[in-house]
Chain A
Amino acid sequence: MNITIVDYKSGNISSVINSFKEVAKDKVTIEVTSNLNKIKSSDKVVLPGQGSFKSCVDALNKIKGLTDTLNDFAINYKKPLLGICVGLQMFADVGYEETETKGLGWISGKVSKINNQNGNYKLPHIGWNQINIVKDSKIFKDIENNSHMYFVHSYEFLPNDKKVVSATTDYSSNIVCSVEKENIFGTQFHPEKSDKLGLKIIDNFISL
């Protein structure tokens, strides 16, 4: 099996690469590339994302054919794809960070700033928070409810169809922190920085 981590020159993806390589060991090949043919021929794709919604979408669009290739991979061929942080947020129709920006539109909804309740909640939401698993998700196999995961974000994904939500976390409100829609998976938290439990989630995705 081979898994591609999409390197679209936005933000820092070394931690994602390190964690996948750690879990994959020799059983799975991990490619880090934006080469369209390599993405097409992979079994699974990881879409990381750091920085702003707009900067990530802009970076994706800068690589000719990448959005179409990812769309084919996830929507037409229905192969497993995992979005992390802004990688998940980009599943939405639209994001409002910096300016209104069109997302990939794979899961209907929008990405808005977390309501900090007049400064009562610091933003970014940085640190370890517990996840409330609301739906059986394949990537949560052997992950207990209320497990701690590492978060760092100021914006949240608000999907229209709540059935896609697999976990939430409590910070000012119940923030969507994991989604599963058929073959599309996403985590708002960083499994690559969430210690052993995070690596377990990566292992679950690899083992799908």
Chain B
Amino acid sequence: MLKNRIIPCLDVKNGRVVKGINFVDLKDAGDPVEQAKIYSDGGADEICFLDITASNENRDTIYDVVEKTSKKCFVPLTVGGGVRSVDDINKLLNCGADKVSMNTAAVENPGVVIDSSKKFGSQCIVVAIDAKKNGDKWEVFTHGGRKNSGFDALEYAKQMEKNGAGELLVTSMDRDGTQVGYDIDLMSKISSKVNIPVIASGGVGNLDHMVDGIKLGKASAVLAASIFHYGKYSVKEAKDYLDSKGIPVRI
């Protein structure tokens, strides 16, 4: 039976982890490789790096991080943030990323999703959808949530599937950072709309939220950052809890 995945996400800036595990025994808490290794050894089903490097001159730092991590971690590695072109994707894959996620580029230039999925296969193309509720629908935002594209999130999700995305990483902007739980309505509507897997993101504050994201939100995988970083729960605790609630996980 296919298991639901738990994916810790690390924010990386200028090649350093800015929001990561706060363990006292870490030699270097800013080292993405060390943090990723802790997660993969702890049973993470995948690792996600979100590159939040702001300045263009430091953009290349992520390649070095990916290259080093992929030599130490033998679970899938997804990298997103600032990915603009087929060439960017190619570079990340060559450095050892297994999947690349795109947000702004997928909205502004759908050709990038079409071309890259043809060139590298859908299995490595993830489209990240930042959605914000407006009335009875959700709109897709880009540029780290600063710009409203006006696109309806459900229609957009379907279009991205057609364009060749292999997975959708759906973040509720209303919930992100609130720790009150995923936007279940959004997740389940998108998941029912498309035939590709949906990764739920944004708002997880406890392990019941993960259970809900999978059971009610119909997500194939749940992504979380802060609840793991600040040591509130370990990946293993999360998996044991999900298991106790009857959710299939890899233990």
Interface set of A (CB-CB < 8 Å, partner B): 11-12, 14-15, 18-19, 21-22, 50-52, 55, 116, 119, 122-130, 148, 150-154, 170-171, 192-196, 198-199
Besides the known contacts A154-B122, A170-B1, 11 further A-B residue pairs in the complex with CB atoms under 8 A apart = A18-B71, A21-B71, A50-B121, A123-B196, A127-B45, A127-B197, A129-B2, A153-B123, A193-B76, A193-B98, A195-B74
Q: For chain B residues 207-251, which have a beta carbon within 8 Å of chain A?
A: 220-221, 250
Within the complex, the shortest CB–CB distance from A147 to chain B, in Å, comes to 10
Give the chain B neighbours of A130 by CB distance below 8 A: 1
CA distance A130 to B74 in the complex (A): 17
A123 lies within 8 A of B195 (CB): yes
Interface centre among A50, A148, A152 (most CB of B within 10 A): A152
Instruction: Give the secondary structure class of A's interface.
Output: mixed
Closest CB of chain A to B62's CB: distance in Å? 15
Main secondary structure of the interface of B (DSSP, over half): loop
Report if A15-B5 is in contact (Cβ < 8 Å); known contacts: A50-B123, A123-B195, A150-B76: no
- Chain B interface (Cβ < 8 Å from any Cβ of A): 1-5, 40, 45, 70-71, 74-76, 93-98, 119-124, 166-167, 195-197, 220-221, 250
Instruction: Please tell me if the beta carbons of A126 and B166 are within 8 angstroms of each other in the complex.
Output: yes
> Within the complex, what minimum Cβ distance (angstroms) separates B116 from chain A?
11
User: What's the least CB distance linking A24 to chain B, in Å?
Assistant: 13
Task: List the 4 closest A-B pairs by CB distance, nearest first.
Answer: A51-B121, A12-B93, A128-B250, A152-B123
How near does chain B come to A47, taking the closest CB pair, in angstroms?
A: 16
CB distance from B80 to the nearest CB of A (A): 16
CA–CA, A125 and B220, complex, Å = 10
Task: Looking at the assembled complex, report how far the CB atom of A87 sits from the nearest CB atom of chain B, in whole angstroms.
Answer: 13
Contact of B124 among A12, A125, A127 (CB under 8 A): A12
18 contacts between A and B (CB under 8 A): A12-B124, A15-B96, A18-B70, A22-B71, A55-B121, A122-B220, A123-B195, A124-B122, A124-B166, A124-B167, A124-B196, A126-B123, A126-B166, A126-B197, A127-B2, A129-B1, A148-B3, A193-B74
B67: nearest residue on chain A (CB-CB)? A14
Contact A192 B196 (CB under 8 A): no
| Closest Cβ neighbor of A196 among chain B residues | B74
> B123, A128: Cβ atoms under 8 Å?
no
B120 touches A51 (CB 8 A): yes
> Looking at the complex, which one of A21, A122, A150 makes contact with B75 (CB distance below 8 Å)?
A150
CA–CA, A83 to B250, complex, Å? 25
In the assembly, what is the distance between CA of A92 and CA of B121, in Å? Answer: 20
